[in-house]
Structure 1
Amino acid sequence: MSYISRGETYELLDSLNKMGSKINFEEVKKIELKGDRVEYNLILNYIEDIQDDEQRDNLRRNISKFKDLYGSDLQNNFLKIIDYVLLEIPRVNRSRRVDKQIESTSLYIEKLKLSNEEHKSIIAQSQEKMGKMQGDFISILSIFSAVIIAFFGGLNFIASALNAIDKINSYKLTFVILIIGFIMFNIIYMLLYTISKITGRKITIDKIPDKCSKCKKMSFMLCLRYKYPIVYVYNFLTLILCVATLLLYTIDRYNIFTRISYLKANMLIVILSLFILVLLAYIFFIYLKSKKNSCDISECAKSLDS
């Protein structure tokens, strides 16, 4: 007992694996197979090496047609090869379909894993943001509470001072109210500035570009004026009023106003007019100086743009 050779087996299968009218069943029938045993692993390898599903189906159709036409006249070893091919092709087709489904499922699982990782990352970022937002909300609420406490505490101080208006000197009362207002304003503004830092908002004017040499030479007060104009104006006016109040208190303490009251009315008008003129001149001087600095800064900005 001997096996059919590899060459004879593949010759038979190649002859039956031709497309359409190219196949000649009479020539296939004349192929001689020497041996009475079949190496089924050769047939299985041949079928598995066919990657195209359509080509495998074509081989199955040709063999089925060949068997229908000449099955009764074929040798036993011929029929063994044909029957094994007809048995293995559907199995290989099913195996290929399963492999494709497994591959497709694996790709889908990989996509799900990637999507799951992305969702985990998004959830982690959201949780981190929520935790940060909660901390920011607590900080903002605490600061607003401090603002309210500072505001109403200042109002209580002012109310207490006004209640004692008939008991203390009016100059002292005015000076105390100005100091309380000065402290209240700066504390509240400082708390609001802290809130702006937490929320990422701005309550200041943008800085002058550092590239401008003139801007670098600006003093602290001028930088404060351009970056925090509200703070600058309020504190400047408050300090002027405090100085004026102290000056008036000093003058009145030595009864200068009482002595002036004995002078003629025209003399009083002249002195008041001189005081007003000096005050206006000082304000005008401050205005000219600030305007000059504004012009220098605008020229600096134009030079940077060009």
Structure 2
Amino acid sequence: MNNGEYEKTNYSENFMTEQEKDNEIKHIIKHIIDEGVEDIDVFVERFTKVYDHEYRHKYSEILQLLMEIKSESEAESLDYLVLNMNVLKEHISCSQYSFKKSFFKLYDHIMLEVTRIQLYHDYEKREKLIESKVNTAKNELEYYGNLYNNLSTDINGLYSTVNNVNEQLRDSNAQSISILGIFSGIVIAFFGSIKVTENIFSNLGEGISKYRIVFMAGVIGFILFNTIFVLLYFIAKVSNKSIATGNFDKYYYECYDWNCWDEEKGAYKENRKNVKKYRKILNSSRKRLKIRYPIVYWVNLFMVSIIIMSFILWLIKNQTIFIIPLKL
């Protein structure tokens, strides 16, 4: 606030209006806060002119001004006002000025409101401090509550993990015993088949047909291969594994156009040709075997082909072909 604002209000030499005096009181208080009271005579002159003709300052105007000062500046401004008002009071109380009584009322009003404002300010600070502590306590309580819940969850998870490990150990022991038993069966079946094959071929005479030998070898190979496959399949089931080398996902994904959504049906658009193909695969054991276990399929096909061809050739050699007449 520049010095021009603290100059005395413009008024006529003989008379000041009520409003002008109200404004002058406000200017004096602001001047005391911003400039201090080094020149006391200036303030004495201004108070003398304001409080002539029995003027009474308005308590509401003083309260409004102090509230504005508090909201616009730091709390030290009011402390500085109190300090300077005490200096003026000490000077005025030792003299006989005409405005002495009015000044003391102004002083009392200012002291009262400054005290109220400071008490309210302290109350706000304490309230904010208490609120901050309450929020901190709530946050800590929530933190420790969450920590307790997390620890409880972790402990329950550990118990569950321990139980799962124990179950897996029991299952693995059972699986190991089953797998060892099946492998023993495979070994016994393999060597037993070799022994049986050896006995069969040793009992065959030298004049035995080579087609019969191939036929017997095909049958034995077919039985031995499928026996081993069945045992391996059981091992996979016991250990929750799969020995399949293919699946039906490819054929399923080809059944739909995944880039085209049918709003009426609420589903992706079907490819009817591929859907029909997929259903045929699901309904055919041979096709399912060919897709999931191609090695088994082709080896069995090869073995069966050898068995059939050797049998047919043996029939041809022995001239025992059956002719079925066809009616035209």
State TM-score, norm by structure 1. 0.48
State TM-score, norm by structure 2. 0.46
Greater Cα radius of gyration, structure 1 or 2? 2
Higher helix share: 1
